[in-house]
Amino acid sequence: MVICIPKEIMTSENRVAATPETVEKFVTDGHTVYIEAGAGHPSFHEDSAYIEAGATILHDTEALFEKADVILKVKEPLFNERIGKHEVDMMHEGQYLITFIHPASPGNHEMVRKLANQGVIALTLDGVPRISRAQNLDALTSMSTCAGYKGILMAANDLASFMPQMFTAVGQIKPAKVLVIGVGVAGLQALATARRLGAITYAADIRPAAAEQATSLGAKVIDTGVPEELAIADGGYAKKLPADVLSKERELLFPTIKEMDVVFCSALVPGKVAPIIITEDMVKEMKLGSVIVDISIDQGGNCAITPPGGKERKHGVMINGIKNIPGLLPNSSTWMFAQNIYHLVKYLTHDGEIQLDMNDEICSSILVTRDHQIVHTGTLEAMNA
């Protein structure tokens, strides 16, 4: 296959979908690899290293897209301001696109429709199921680790006060209080990082097992009031809650949220729009100078007023909806991402080309568009809603 890796064009995105190490593996597997010139520079991988690994460097972005059987990206396709074209418009029928698409997010619906219209076979990395045989394919887990760590550092940077307890000549300053909503991989890393920084930590998750893990990290668990039978889907994921149950969860969390200095939001339902946990009215009652870091924004966000892709102070609260937090750790996150995507391509490839077995849970979970149709269940539900 001809595998092409373009330079990421999202603002401040410093990752790339392949390292010289994974390029060498692709070439050893018999594939031809093209890299857009400078694609690895922000993550400290020089063009010369890719050439040494067996790749060909291309300066022409449109030619790169044209050549590809498979396009490997980090972020969803966007409009390329430099050449005046949307990345999807440079794709063609039968081409495979493998990247984080987050297709259920309302902001991505038009782009997903364009992919279907172009005849692109789009595979989304956020759909990889968290099962034992998919662990080395799971880029979402890898990037969640980065987001949990870096997200808390960003919160500390925006916070109007110290994170740890401080003893000064003029008196004692109490430690910050940090609530993590959604204690998956990112949430656990966020709790661990906040605790390292000296904060008092709290956690909320509708899944009892996740709450138990939070306790093991020293967090006080806040009861969400969600019955276990409504909380857990196959594979241990969180379920989409009925509206009345979600409303009750908000009521129970609200007294704690009002007391927090930092609220880290990472509650997700795989393949679906993220649940709204914090309404605008709740934000209005939060402490002045407090911070919300909403890493669920790729799937719509857990806070109703999170600014997608940026951060903004609203009602005295700094709300951070930056979408590419792992890109702020470009070297570590690129290394992890590139390994995941290499293993996924290798898993899907048979007799030298990608072949999708729709009886395979991994294939059926990641497929978004095929044969000019949108086939991703969570996306279709979100579009109909």
Residue 360 identity: D
Checking if the pLDDT of 235 tops 70, the result is no
Checking if the pLDDT of 324 tops 70, the result is yes
Q: Which residue, among 175, 109, 177, 169, has the nearest Cα to 368 in the 3D structure? A: 109
Distance CA 217, CA 191 (A): 7
Distance CA 142, CA 340 (A): 8
- Residue with structure tokens 């930056």? 322
Rounded mean pLDDT of 92-111?
94
Q: How far is CA 129 from the centre of its chain?
A: 14
**pLDDT value, residue 229:** 84
Residues across the chain: 385
Looking at 9-13, 29-33, 87-91, 265-269, which range is the least confident one?
9-13
pLDDT > 70 fraction of the chain, expressed in percent and rounded: 99
Q: What is the mean pLDDT of the chain?
A: 95
**pLDDT value, residue 230:** 86
pLDDT in tens, 109-130: 999 999 999 999 999 998 998 8
pLDDT in tens, 331-360: 999 999 999 999 999 999 999 999 999 999
Checking if the pLDDT of 190 tops 90, the result is yes
**300-322: buried (b, 16+ CB within 10 Å) or exposed (e) per residue?**
bbbbebbbeeebeebeebbbbbb
- Residue with structure tokens 């909380």? 231
Checking if the pLDDT of 246 tops 80, the result is yes
The set of residues, in sequence order, having a beta carbon less than 8 Å from that of 85 and lying 6+ positions away, is: 62, 79
Checking if the pLDDT of 271 tops 80, the result is no
pLDDT > 90 fraction of the chain, expressed in percent and rounded: 85
Distance CA 237, CA 54 (A): 40
In contact, 122 and 354? CB cutoff 8 Å:
no
**pLDDT value, residue 107:** 86
The tokens for 46 are: 């020089």
Would you give the end-to-end CA distance of the chain in angstroms? 38
Sign (positive/negative) of CA torsion 153, 11, 112, 137?
negative
Checking if the pLDDT of 272 tops 90, the result is no
Q: Which residues pair with 308 in a beta bridge?
A: none
Q: Which residue, among 226, 218, 184, has the nearest Cα to 202 in the 3D structure? A: 218
